[in-house]
């Protein structure tokens, strides 16, 4: 956990330092929404089908105007991900929780002075795993255990050890609507996992990547700097 916090602090310092120097306007805010998440799993060249999980994502953001139509928006999100699997008599849900740091470059699509401000954005996402659990039901018996314990109980049938850091790419569309002293914000994004989060390597090892569609809504406060 200490290493994760150090890494998170360095990531924020790297992002916020240059952004503050260039910023021409700052908006701070909070957003919450849902992830419709699943896992892209490749087993020896064969894709393994998974079911989605509809789970929670939320956290603060800061938007720094860079002049013109561009701005940069770092975020700090608690983001739940994972996937579900079903076979006759067995239901499994892998719950992967992350503290994520997206750094989004935004481009406004509306002219200055427009009350509704749509935008498109893209940027990298660094995720620090906070928890990995497996919830399962078999023969009418349910259990919720740590991923490491699940691997041990599977007696070699499941060879999966998750990495503590995940790298992704986020692409999305957002809209800002002024409402008096605040701004109502909303966005829809797709986050594509770039990292194989399975820490087990070698022949026959599973290749596992996170994927998620996300829908957010929130409020921002322009600071007018």
Residue 52 is predicted with a pLDDT of 95
Structural domain boundaries, residue 143: 2-222
Spatial separation of the C-alpha atoms in residues 97 and 93, rounded to whole Å: 13
Report which of 220, 35, 22, 212 is spatially closest to residue 105, judged by C-alpha positions: 22
Spatial separation of the C-alpha atoms in residues 187 and 140, rounded to whole Å: 40
Residue 161 is predicted with a pLDDT of 78
- pLDDT tens by residue, the chain, 225 residues: 445 544 554 455 444 454 444 446 899 999 999 999 999 988 777 787 889 999 999 999 999 999 889 999 999 999 999 999 877 777 888 899 999 999 999 999 987 778 899 999 999 999 999 998 888 776 666 777 787 776 555 545 556 678 999 999 999 999 999 999 999 999 999 999 999 998 877 656 788 999 999 999 999 999 965
For the chain, the 3-state helix, strand and coil shares in percent, each to the nearest 5, are 10, 65, 20
CATH number at residue 76: 2.40.160.20
Residue 140 is predicted with a pLDDT of 67
Sequence-separated (6 or more) residues with CB below 8 Å from residue 149: none
Give me the residue label for tokens 């749509």: 118
What is the number of domains present in the chain? 1
Sequence-separated (6 or more) residues with CB below 8 Å from residue 197: 96, 162, 163, 166, 208, 209, 210
Q: Is residue 186 within 8 Å of 175, Cβ to Cβ?
A: yes
Spatial separation of the C-alpha atoms in residues 203 and 225, rounded to whole Å: 55
Give the pair of three-digit tokens for residue 158: 């499941």
């Amino acid at each position: 956990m200490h290493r994760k916090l150090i890494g998170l602090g360095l990531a924020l310092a790297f992002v916020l330092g240059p952004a503050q120097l260039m910023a021409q306007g700052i908006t701070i805010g909070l957003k919450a929404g849902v992830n419709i998440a699943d896992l892209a799993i490749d087993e020896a060249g064969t894709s393994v089908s998974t079911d989605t999980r509809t789970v929670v994502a939320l956290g603060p953001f800061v938007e720094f105007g860079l002049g013109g139509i561009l701005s940069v928006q770092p975020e700090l999100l608690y983001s739940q991900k994972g996937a579900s699997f079903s076979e006759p008599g067995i239901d499994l849900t892998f719950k992967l929780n992350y503290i994520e740091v997206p750094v989004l470059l935004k481009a406004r699509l509306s002219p200055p002075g427009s009350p509704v401000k749509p935008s498109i954005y893209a940027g990298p996402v660094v995720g620090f795993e906070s928890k990995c659990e497996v919830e399962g039901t078999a023969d009418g018996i349910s259990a919720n255990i740590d991923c490491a314990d699940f691997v041990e109980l599977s007696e070699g049938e499941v060879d999966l050890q998750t990495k503590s850091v995940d790298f992704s790419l986020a692409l999305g569309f957002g809209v800002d609507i002024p409402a008096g002293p605040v701004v109502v914000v909303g966005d829809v994004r797709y986050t594509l996992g770039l990292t194989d989060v399975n820490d087990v390597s070698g022949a026959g090892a599973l290749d596992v990547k996170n994927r998620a569609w996300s829908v957010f809504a929130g409020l921002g406060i322009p600071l007018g700097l």
